[in-house]
Every structure is written in C-alpha cells, then in structure tokens.
Amino acid sequence: MSKHAPKLDPELSLGYQVRRCHRRFDRLLSAYLAKHELKTGFWYYLRVLWLRDGVTQKYLSDMTNVTENTTVAMINAMLRQGLVQRAKDKDDRRKLRITLTDHGRALEKELMQYAIDINKVAVAGIEPREVEICRSVLERISANLAAEFDRLPAKPADEG
C-alpha cells in the first residue's frame, strides 16, 4: 500500500458496517431456513412471490437485483424442491410466469415469522425512533448509490 493512499478504517466505513450487518442477518436467516432444507437465496425470490405471484423471470431478477442468469438457476433449484412452477403466459406465450406451488405458499407464515423474529433481535435495546432514523438513512443511501450506478457509462456484467 502506498504511503499516500487514502485510508478508511473499516469500523468507520458505512459499506463495511452495512455488509457486516447483512452477513449477520443472512447467517441467522440461513440457520432458520436450514430447518426446511432451503437455501438462503430462495428467501429473496419467495418474498417477492408472496407479495406478487405469477411474475416473469425478468421481474424476479429486477426485484431481487440479481442477473437473469442467476435468477434462472435459482428458479431451477426452486422447481426441484417443489417451491415454484413455470407456466406460459396466457397473453404472450413467449413469456414464462413463475408461480408458487402449494408448498411454496404454505411456507410463508413460518418463514415470515423468522424474518420478524430476526428483525426484533436486530433492534433489541434500540429506541424505535432510532430504528426509524436508521431505516430512513439507509433508504436514502441506497437511492444515492443507485443513482450513481445509473450514471456509470459501463456497468458490470453481474449487478447482483
């Protein structure tokens, strides 16, 4: 490292702190999902489908911020586990719609409770007002970063 290189202590870096929190959320969620033999990656797709079932693979990619190739691989794995099914769109036979199976739908109550419980653990001992400020600030940081990414002339191949 050059002696003139800029320095940023990881403990003072927002990116580092957000990443560390995300990894801890992810590890805890993964432990809960393991009870159902589910991959953590499935969570993000199930969450979207519980809110809006019967969407295209493109929509799932957009909503999870993952490339379409990665989404196809995840959907294939979810198909093998009986969580989702593919069906041709009634109006446009070229499009495939992804819908939850009864099994995928039945997991919502228990898995959503896990998410609620994990969020409660995360904010334990923190005033609700502080939690709301944190959420609001993170939302604005995310918007700032998304806007900067959109301004880039060339984008990385995999944004997810």
Specify if 133 maps to a domain. Answer: no
* Residue 143 confidence (pLDDT): 97
Between the CA atoms of 68, 62, 113 and 131, what dihedral angle is there, to the nearest 10 degrees?
140
Domain of residue 95: give its range: 35-106
Q: How far apart are alpha carbons 123 and 139 in whole angstroms?
A: 17
Specify if 51 maps to a domain. Answer: yes
pLDDT confidence tier of residue 5, bands split at 50, 70 and 90: confident
* Residue 1 confidence (pLDDT): 53
- Judge if pTM exceeds 0.95: no
Give the tens place of pLDDT for each residue, 121-143. Answer: 999 999 999 999 999 999 999 99
For the chain, the domain total comes to 1
Specify if 160 maps to a domain. Answer: no
Specify if 7 maps to a domain. Answer: no
pLDDT confidence tier of residue 157, bands split at 50, 70 and 90: low
Specify if 71 maps to a domain. Answer: yes
Specify if 3 maps to a domain. Answer: no
CATH, residue 92: 1.10.10.10
Specify if 119 maps to a domain. Answer: no
Q: How far apart are alpha carbons 16 and 65 in whole angstroms?
A: 20
